């Protein structure tokens, strides 16, 4: 019964996913030597945009053109 509840929860979560929000979708299906099978789905969302540029001039870190 526990597996059934977890599977239903996973299906509900997947149905709520907006495919346009995803960066990567990976589906893996593995067959093992003992005859068992594994199946997994991985959803990867893009990270936050990073606007900050950091360089080093030998003495100071320069962040977006300012010495820090």
pLDDT at 68: 54
Distance CA(7)–CA(19), nearest Å, equals: 20
Boundaries of every domain in the chain: 20-67
Within 13 Å and on the Cβ side, how many CA atoms surround 18?
Answer: 3
pLDDT at 43: 92
pLDDT at 57: 57
Listed as ranges, residues in the chain with pLDDT below 70 are 49-68
């Amino acid at each position: 019964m526990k597996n059934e509840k977890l599977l239903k929860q996973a299906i509900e979560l997947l149905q709520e996913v907006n495919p346009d929000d995803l960066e990567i979708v990976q589906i893996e299906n593995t067959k093992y030597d003992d005859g068992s099978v594994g199946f997994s789905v991985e959803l990867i969302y893009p990270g936050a945009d990073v606007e900050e540029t950091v360089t080093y001039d030998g003495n100071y870190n320069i962040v977006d053109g300012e010495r820090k």
